[in-house]
Structure 1
């Protein structure tokens, strides 16, 4: 969120961001008012416009900021070189930890895509595609070296991301599994999927398989 000249500084900006995340995650974007946001931070509603022009820009800045942070953190975590299994393990461990630690941001990035205006939505979808591509590249490389056996790496990419990202909808920090335990469990499942190769012929009828392939983009 870019601060507009005349605003009171980064501490207020961060307070607005955290309050907005909490309110949207709890009540939804449509139900959150700027008056409510200002009251939560303890400032006048007019002061919000030192930080963003309108409610839509605020939502876009939240989601875009999350995606930028996600990409930067992934790039720092991934191995530049290594085997397919090593790189897929690093990706999975990163994705699990990042999403467990930021449940509100992740929830909003999925649930409030529908609230973005067309140009903003297109920008976020492009960033999501770039993230998917990074996982897809790992899977493609593993298939090329013979480490992985996947009939369709695009479908595998979407399946892995859906499985991993869904963690934040049910995971409780006070539950029986630590983040490290989750990383170990899900890394095992992801690697098993990547090594699995073609499914049994009877598992998916030919027509249904074609329909699935047509629907994954």
Structure 2
């Protein structure tokens, strides 16, 4: 009989969180499934109810991380068609997420190299969605006359690199507040796009 609190809905999030913690401490290659099971409070064999291999665990985790962030961004920008406002929402969402969920950001950005080829290709497709969404915002802003850029693809990649690198240097214990980082990035990116309505 299944004990109270041992449902998949409760167990998988715990496995995922402990796995992310271990990857951040040791790197994926050195992460041990026995250690993951122990940290998660389950038997090693029970892990295979959630994934078939260590590689599949990483693939599943990275896909979930990226899908969750994409859904958050898409939901947040859905309420407005104004490119200026959509840009600010996109930037704010990305900055806050990369500050508050640094471990997930680390795994999704730095462990792509550890994915098997098939998983890597699918994750690349998910990553491309961030570029497509931002590219659409910039394109519509240029069409409306709110933005001016010399080269849209280069500008979009530059903005994404700025946003995704935050988790590399931000520290919750540091002097910089998240809101200050958000405001600063909004201004920096607005200047890159020669934003008219600041």
Give TM-score, length-normalised by structure 1.
0.83
* Equivalent position of 1:69 in the other structure: 68
d(CA) in 2 for partners of 1:74, 1:11: 25
d(CA) in 1 for partners of 2:176, 2:37: 37
Q: Matched residue pairs, number?
A: 190
d(CA) in 1 for partners of 2:134, 2:79: 13
Equivalent pair of 1:79/1:90 in contact (CA under 8 Å): no
Q: Deviations over 1:132-171 (max 9, x none)?
A: 1000001111111221111111111110011111111111
Q: Give the RMSD, CA atoms, in angstroms.
A: 1.4
* Equivalent position of 1:116 in the other structure: 115
* Equivalent position of 1:93 in the other structure: 92
Query: CA 1:9–1:86 in 2, change beyond 3 Å: closer, same or farther?
Result: closer
* Equivalent position of 1:33 in the other structure: 32
* Equivalent position of 2:51 in the other structure: 52
1:157-196 matches, within 5 Å, as: 157-195=156-194
Q: Deviations over 1:195-217 (max 9, x none)?
A: 18xxxxxxxxxxxxxxxxxxxxx
Equivalent pair of 1:21/1:104 in contact (CA under 8 Å): yes
Structure 1 residue runs without a partner (length 5+): 1-6, 197-217
- The structure with the largest alpha-carbon Rg is 1
Equivalent pair of 1:107/1:168 in contact (CA under 8 Å): yes
* Equivalent position of 2:3 in the other structure: none
